[in-house]
């Protein structure tokens, strides 16, 4: 996999394209409301996909992908030999009962509490704006409306492996996510790992059942599991380099059916995440702690690992390209704000996970984070991603769309035949 080249200077955004984007935002917000009001779970996004395609109108011929997703290309056709810039937006929602009280709140047991409705509406605004002005971007644009980000089997993995996606010769893949851990008006762009890998785990401890009044006749799996839980949470603090990031979370424990019975089995379920810690070393240490602790209490234990997503690793050159473009648009008013109303951050990363990582395994990719913590609030203090009360306000559609437009323009220029090969070889921006 070759990194995206770096142009010498960030290209300006066509003023007509910028104006066209602003003109699309009201309709994009209306689309966001429609998607938010009637969300769909992973694997059931066909209705949401069709709403998106209806909003795109006759801008091109969509291709269905990953069962309930779709792709739409603007600019030179796929057989023209021009590498495209692709942008991913997620269609699915979560099995959560929403508590936002918004007039367009979902009323069932499914809700957009991760911001995917904002991402989709923002991408639709960018596509429609480019269609309105006849696509003035420096490279073709491939909009990917992807299903199944929240649940395996991964929609991103399916799209990345699809020959129809490969036929577009994507040279750079972009994604965006609203982020309540960042202040409003901030867009974070950096190279390297920015989201962690995530694997699901199940620990099952087997003991000897018996009467609670005769514990010496039993081998208590509950006690063994309790010690395993305590031991597991020391792995990161004592087995992982403190300069790297990883986390083990056990979020579900289950044992027994009566208060006076020592059960035969006890189970725990959770996740293992590695940002720049070694994923393999974390899992190996976990297995050692689980098996040896159970054995110390006269029990046996099994660890089952269900691999999910690898880490999201941003392409270094592509990150420099986009960061340079966003940074060059800073105003001279002393507060670092750009002409797009965005402040560039190059530090944020988290142990959240995203199946966007699968694109990065086959082509240069970049995930951007757009701040969602309102002014006057402490980032991360309010309802976060997946919380029943999390819902960015409508202005976030425009903020995400402006960040995407800047990123698409910069990445497209890097892929254009006129990209400066000398600058592309530069080690730093």
pLDDT band at 330 (very low <50, low <70, confident <90, very high): very low
When pLDDT is averaged across residues 274-282 and rounded to a whole number, the result is 94
Q: Return phi, psi of residue 265, to 5°.
A: -135, 155
pLDDT value, residue 418: 56
- Going by the annotation, the residues of the binding site are 114, 116, 150, 177, 386
pLDDT value, residue 419: 47
pLDDT value, residue 428: 38
pLDDT value, residue 11: 72
When pLDDT is averaged across residues 161-187 and rounded to a whole number, the result is 96
pLDDT value, residue 81: 84
Alpha carbons 428 and 425: distance in angstroms, whole number: 9
C-alpha gyration radius of the chain: 24
Using the structure block, give the residue that is written with the tokens 């080690």: 427
Q: For the chain, how many helices (H) and strands (E)?
A: 12, 16
pLDDT band at 327 (very low <50, low <70, confident <90, very high): confident
Give the chain's end-to-end CA distance (angstroms, integer): 21
> 120 with 69: CB under 8 angstroms?
no
* Burial tier of 229 (Cβ tally within 10 Å: 0-12, 13-18, 19+): middle
pLDDT value, residue 337: 43
Tokens of 206: 């087997």
Q: Could you say which DSSP state residue 10 is in?
A: P
pLDDT value, residue 168: 96
Q: What is the pLDDT of residues 10-30, one digit of tens each?
A: 678 889 999 999 999 999 999
Q: What is the pLDDT of residues 201-255, one digit of tens each?
A: 999 999 999 999 999 999 999 999 999 999 999 999 999 999 999 999 999 999 9
- Residue spans of the domains in the chain: they are 15-195+311-424, 197-309
334 dihedral zone (left: phi>0; alpha: psi -120 to 50; beta): left
Between 429 and 242, the more confident residue is 242
Calculate helix-pair angle for 46-56, 116-132, nearest 10 degrees. 30
When pLDDT is averaged across residues 157-162 and rounded to a whole number, the result is 97
Nearest-CA neighbor of 383 among 393, 369, 370?
393
pLDDT value, residue 79: 82
Kindly give, in sequence order, each residue whose CB lies less than 8 Å from that of residue 351, ignoring residues fewer than 6 positions away: 195, 196, 245, 246, 247, 273, 275
> 89 with 35: CB under 8 angstroms?
no
pLDDT value, residue 422: 38
Residue 171 in this model has a pLDDT that exceeds 70: yes
Alpha carbons 202 and 317: distance in angstroms, whole number: 38
Quick one: which H or E segment has residue 302?
strand 300-309
Residue 135 in this model has a pLDDT that exceeds 50: yes
pLDDT above 70 covers a percentage of the chain that reads 91
Q: What is the pLDDT of residues 59-106, one digit of tens each?
A: 999 999 999 999 999 999 988 888 999 999 999 999 999 999 999 999
Residue 332 in this model has a pLDDT that exceeds 70: no
What homologous superfamily is domain 15-195+311-424 in, according to CATH? Zn peptidases (3.40.630.10)
Nearest-CA neighbor of 173 among 134, 146, 154?
146
How many C-beta atoms lie closer than 10 Å to residue 37's C-beta?
Answer: 15
CATH architecture of 197-309: 2-Layer Sandwich (3.30)
pLDDT value, residue 56: 97
398 dihedral zone (left: phi>0; alpha: psi -120 to 50; beta): alpha
Residue 407 in this model has a pLDDT that exceeds 70: yes
Q: Return phi, psi of residue 182, to 5°.
A: -115, 145
Q: Return phi, psi of residue 186, to 5°.
A: -105, 140
Alpha carbons 215 and 231: distance in angstroms, whole number: 23
pLDDT value, residue 1: 62
pLDDT value, residue 417: 67
Between 329 and 307, the more confident residue is 307
How many C-beta atoms lie closer than 10 Å to residue 102's C-beta?
Answer: 15
Chain mean pLDDT for the chain: 91
Note every long-range contact of 228-235, with CB atoms under 8 Å and residues 24 or more positions apart, other chains counting: 228/203, 228/268, 228/289, 228/290, 228/293, 228/294, 228/301, 229/253, 229/268, 231/289, 231/293, 232/286, 232/289, 232/290, 235/282, 235/285, 235/286, 235/289
Between 400 and 334, the more confident residue is 400
Residue 329 in this model has a pLDDT that exceeds 90: no
When pLDDT is averaged across residues 274-301 and rounded to a whole number, the result is 97
- Going by the annotation, the residues of the binding site for Mn(2+) are 114, 116, 150, 177, 386
């Amino acid at each position: 996999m070759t990194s995206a080249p770096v142009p010498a200077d960030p290209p300006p955004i066509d003023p007509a394209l910028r104006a066209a984007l602003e003109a699309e935002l009201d309709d994009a917000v209306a689309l966001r409301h429609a998607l938010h009001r009637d969300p769909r779970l992973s694997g059931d996004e066909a209705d949401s996909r069709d709403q998106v395609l209806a909003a795109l109108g006759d801008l091109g011929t969509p291709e269905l992908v990953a069962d309930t997703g779709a792709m739409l290309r603007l600019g030179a056709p796929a057989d023209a030999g021009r590498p495209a810039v692709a942008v991913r937006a997620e269609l699915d929602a979560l099995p959560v009962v929403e508590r936002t009280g918004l007039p367009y709140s979902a009323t069932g047991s499914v809700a957009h509490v991760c911001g995917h409705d904002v991402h989709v509406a923002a991408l639709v605004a960018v596509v429609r704006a480019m269609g309105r002005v006849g696509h003035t971007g420096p490279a073709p644009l491939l909009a990917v409306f992807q299903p199944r980000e929240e649940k395996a089997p991964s929609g991103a993995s399916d799209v990345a492996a699809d020959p129809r996606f490969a036929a577009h010769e994507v040279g750079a893949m972009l994604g965006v996510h609203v982020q309540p851990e960042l202040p409003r008006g901030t867009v974070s762009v950096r190279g390297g790992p920015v989201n962690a890998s995530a694997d699901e785990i199940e620990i099952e401890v087997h003991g000897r059942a018996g009467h609670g009044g005769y514990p010496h006749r039993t081998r208590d799996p509950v006690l063994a599991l309790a010690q395993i839980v305590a031991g597991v949470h020391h792995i990161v603090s004592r087995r992982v380099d403190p300069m790297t990031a990883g986390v083990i979370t056990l979020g579900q424990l289950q044992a027994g059916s009566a208060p006076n019975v020592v059960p035969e089995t006890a189970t725990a379920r959770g996740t293992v995440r590695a940002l720049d810690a070694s994923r393999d070393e974390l899992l190996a240490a976990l297995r050692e702690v689980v098996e040896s602790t159970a054995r110390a209490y006269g029990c046996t234990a099994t660890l089952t690992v269900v691999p999910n997503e690898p880490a999201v690793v941003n392409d270094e050159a592509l990150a420099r390209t986009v960061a340079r473009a966003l940074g060059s648009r800073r105003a001279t008013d002393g507060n670092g704000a750009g002409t797009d109303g965005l402040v560039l951050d190059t530090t944020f990363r988290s142990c959240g996970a995203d199946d966007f990582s699968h694109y990065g395994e086959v082509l240069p990719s970049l995930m951007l984070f757009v701040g969602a913590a309102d002014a006057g609030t402490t980032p991360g203090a309010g309802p976060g991603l997946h919380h029943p009360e999390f819902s960015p306000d409508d202005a976030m559609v425009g903020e995400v769309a402006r960040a995407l437009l800047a990123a698409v323009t910069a990445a497209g220029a890097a892929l254009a035949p006129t990209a400066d090969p000398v600058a592309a070889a530069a080690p730093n921006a």
